Amino acid sequence: MKIAIIGAGAMGCLYGAYLSRHHDVYMIDALASQVQAIQDNGITIEETDGTIAKFTQVQACLSGQSQEPVDIAIVFVKSTYTEQALAQNRRLFKDSTLVMTLQNGAGNDRKIAQYVKPNNVIIGTSKHNAVNLGNGKIKHAGRGATDIGSNHDANHIIAVAADLLTEAGFEVAVADDIQRIIWSKLLVNLSVNTFTAITQTPIGYMIKNDDAWDFAKRLVYEAIEVAEADGTYFDRREALNMVREVCQTAGAGYSSMYQDRKNRVKMEIDAINGAIVEQAKQYGVPTPYNTLIVALIHAIEGAYDLYD
């Protein structure tokens, strides 16, 4: 199959590299230096056991430059750039193209459905963690399942995507209630991502400090109130255990939002905690903690220029 990975960051490189073992993979990104590095030297992955794997069969091009439609496109750009990336790369999509989002945040599937048939959209989340080392090199810091599903009757395309990912070596779980999975991922990201970005610490630190863990509880409990107003129910203890397990599994890794702050680029706060705040407005649920965190992250972004 011909596969496009839209967004050649850490996670895009991880999935693109593994998929390139059996398929023609095209890495698409807006960063010229990353595209050139992948085109020249492929993708290099440092695994958790210290082994180094190099994938030289991948190809790369700048966003918007590919003219050839693909069979499957997997979207990995930051949620804040989803619409821009889709518009630039609309030539990739033909009537039969399947598009899968494994991005953070909520609402990406609705944006994708503006460019392809809604029945061709696959929604998913990944429990893998990867750190971008630059120039096509990444550190694979944590493993887990890739959950996929659809908001439509799309068993055939789900099966195609599941087989594709399984063949590449990924553990795949097909979810009947993908919205619950999306909410679950949000609960993790709105606590782990934001905390590690603010404190600039590894993922595992959040469960090693009582004050840090209290931070997580406040954000998660508040978000669960919004999820329940929207029709998805969580046991609070189970939700916190889910967050704890991520901190244990990927303890030495760094979140994507931490990496964004380190690189002084716009963070995904609006698609994560911000998505909770916006959803809450529809139901009249107060979200003081998540609202404060959104403002704090934007204030941090505003201070980037102070350190030049």
DSSP assignment of 40-71 equals HH-EEEE-TTS-EEEE-S-EEEETT---S--S
Q: Are 81 and 268 in contact (CB under 8 A)?
A: no
**What residues pair up with 126 in beta bridges, in sequence order?**
146
pTM (2 d.p.)? 0.77
Residues 6+ apart with CB under 8 A from 243: 187, 188, 191, 192, 216, 220
pLDDT of residue 308: 61
How high is the pLDDT of residue 107? Answer: 72
Listed in order, the ranges of the chain carrying CATH 1.10.1040.10 are 179-307
Return the pLDDT at 64.
94
Please give the residue that has the higher pLDDT: either 190 or 230: 190
Mean pLDDT of the chain: 92
Instruction: Please tell me the predicted confidence (pLDDT) of residue 54.
Output: 96
Listed in order, the ranges of the chain carrying CATH 3.40.50.720 are 2-176
Which pLDDT score is estimated for 256?
A: 87
Distance CA 291, CA 61 (A): 38
Q: What is the pLDDT of residues 211-262, one digit of tens each?
A: 999 999 999 999 999 999 988 899 999 999 999 999 998 888 899 899 899 9
State which H helix or E strand residue 184 sits in.
helix 178-199
Confidence of residue 37 (pLDDT cuts 50, 70, 90): very high
What does the pLDDT look like over 82-128, one tens digit per residue?
Answer: 899 999 999 999 999 999 999 877 678 888 999 999 999 999 989 88
How confident is residue 178, by pLDDT bands cut at 50, 70 and 90?
confident
CATH code reported for the domain at 179-307: 1.10.1040.10
- Give the CATH fold of the 2-176 domain: Rossmann fold (3.40.50)
Tell me which residue of 150, 122, 133 sits closest to 46, measured CA to CA.
133
Cα distances (angstroms) measured from residue 184 to each of 12, 110, 120, 189, 298: 21, 19, 23, 9, 24
**Rg (Cα) of the chain, in Å, rounded?**
19
Residue 136 clears pLDDT 80, i.e. is over it: yes
**Is residue 175 predicted with pLDDT exceeding 90?**
no
In angstroms, the first-to-last Cα distance of the chain is 45
pLDDT attached to residue 176: 85
* CA–centroid distance for 116 within its chain: 20
Q: For the beta carbon of residue 24, count every other beta carbon within 10 angstroms.
A: 15
**How far is residue 150's CA from residue 100's CA, in Å, rounded to a whole number?**
10
52 falls in which pLDDT band (50, 70, 90)? very high
Q: Are strands 98-101 and 121-126 parallel, antiparallel or unpaired?
A: parallel
